[in-house]
Amino acid sequence: MDLRRLLRLSAAGLAAAGLLVSGCTSGDSSSGGTSPESGAPAALKKYYGQKLDWRGCGVPDFQCATMRAPLDYEKPDGAEIKLAVARKKATGPGKRLGSLQVNPGGPGGSAVDYLQGYAGIGYPAPVRARYDMVAVDPRGVSRSAPVECLTGKEMDAFTQVDQTPDDQTERNLLAASYKKLAQGCAKRSAEILPHVSTIEAARDMDILRAALGDKKLSYVGASYGTFLGATYAELFPKRVGRLVLDGAMDPSLPADEMNRDQTAGFETAFSAFAADCVKQPDCPLGTESAADAAQRMKFFFNTLDTEPIPTGEPRKLGESLATTGVINAMYDESGWPGLRDSLTSAMDGDGSGLLALADSYYEREGDGSFSNLMYANAAVNCLDLPAAFKKPADVDAAVPSFQEASPVFGTALAWAGLNCAHWPTEATGTPHRIAAKGAPPILVVGTTRDPATPYKWAQSLAEQLSSGVLLTYDGDGHTAYGRGSDCVDTAINTYLLEGTPPANGKKC
């Protein structure tokens, strides 16, 4: 598994609207004395000046289009890439504010699916009334020249490989599984693989901004989408409009430190789940203390390592799939009751519930096929940062620090850092601080017990950005906007509609 994952929204998140504001504005974000494509390099004029051909796309009230961008920005006259774009036009009332681009994270999450399934219908009504809601599947993702790597059967085998190797044979098998994934990507996606970096995706967003007729970019990015948004601000600080970076990543961290921080984040989330679980009469981990619940969880994982259990289908539930299922439930506290039920069933010998959670994490369909989420996830991450670990011996040395960060998940998540060791393309990015000097206020949002993007990352990014403003949500789950806090939603809505950020350091 790879830790750097996308936002997953609960049913509660879909329904939450928060305290809404209507606000006033000084005008349309596409207005001004300069054209949206001004400042574009001469070699990219044909892309910045393109007109999008909007059409129906099978979802009521949404339109779709295809945008062109250079495959390689260093060779703008070379091959092109086609990117899938969708929008839902502003519904009114109120003066239109231009476009609001959205991205759910990942890397590898489909922004088009996110727009059509949530943002275009679930964002607060005053925001949807005054912005055209827009999404582009980043290059390599879903409908935009997707990275492909394995067959469904091969991916099934990959997800079941033991992530906590006990001997050299198991270490070799795990290393070989990562190597097979890398070789599959190289075989099936050789052309696109070197060109799916976050920098290139951010440059695509600027072409889309111009094609939409917006002078400046307004944007809401969640999880990895915050890194994408911060990268845009670094490249184009003068073109930043209103940027919300929710569940922030810290661009200054190397991959091993990032993975270790996330491991601690999942431990924090599990501790919160365990503390809640032991208060419930149906808690399968006991009713004594969170520490005892964690010990029982570890014991159960260890049992599955040697004795997988039935699931009602040919795949059995071993330690790797069970760990993935539990981790998936950490993204949203509304999933805790379902996790209790799944754990209860699994401890009674039925692994179907935890298997369903793992399949949801991997975006596995009932027919055994997978979305390209995990392939794009690896492709972008392995291009953006040098590998966390190059060989199994590196992981062995790091395991104690990961176990300290998380007694429950540490060993498995340490070995997950081997995923880029055999990647066929060299990393083009490096960890670095992002200041985006010259940008207007950028709103950074952090949740105190976020499992996937630890709160200290939001603190760090807000401090790095020369115009960063930190909004804190004291709560559980991954990200904060639209998850039930009127305080958070009102602050973000006011910023998006009026351009006025909350006071730096505001807590909800």
Both structure tokens of 261: 């921080």
Q: How far is CA 45 from CA 40, 83, 235, in A?
A: 6, 17, 17
Contact, 382 vs 4, CB < 8 A? no
Catalytic, out of 144, 177, 189, 223:
223
- Torsion (CA) 269, 272, 274, 275 in degrees, nearest 10: 170
Sheet hosting strand 240-246, strand order edge to edge: 55-56, 63-70, 80-88, 132-136, 99-103, 217-222, 240-246, 442-449, 468-476, 506-507
Among residues 113, 342, 478, 489, the one annotated as catalytic is 478
The rounded distance, in Å, linking the Cα atoms of 338 and 352 is: 12
Element (H, E) at 136: strand 132-136
Residue 422 annotated in active site: no
What is the token pair recorded at 220? Answer: 């809401």
Is residue 123 within 8 A of residue 116, CB to CB? The reply is: no
195 assigned to active site: no
| CA 308 to chain centroid | 30
CA angle, residues 108, 112, 113, in degrees to nearest 5 = 80
CA distance 410 to 403: 4
3-state helix, strand, coil in the chain (%, to 5): 45, 15, 45
- Residue 503 DSSP code: P
**Beta partners for 446?**
472
The catalytic residue among 256, 384, 450, 489 is 450
The answer for residues whose C-beta is within 8 angstroms of residue 350's C-beta and 6 or more apart is: 309, 310, 311, 312
Answer yes or no: 223 catalytic: yes
Residue 484, CA atoms < 13 Å, CB-side half-sphere: 14
Active site residues: 223, 450, 478
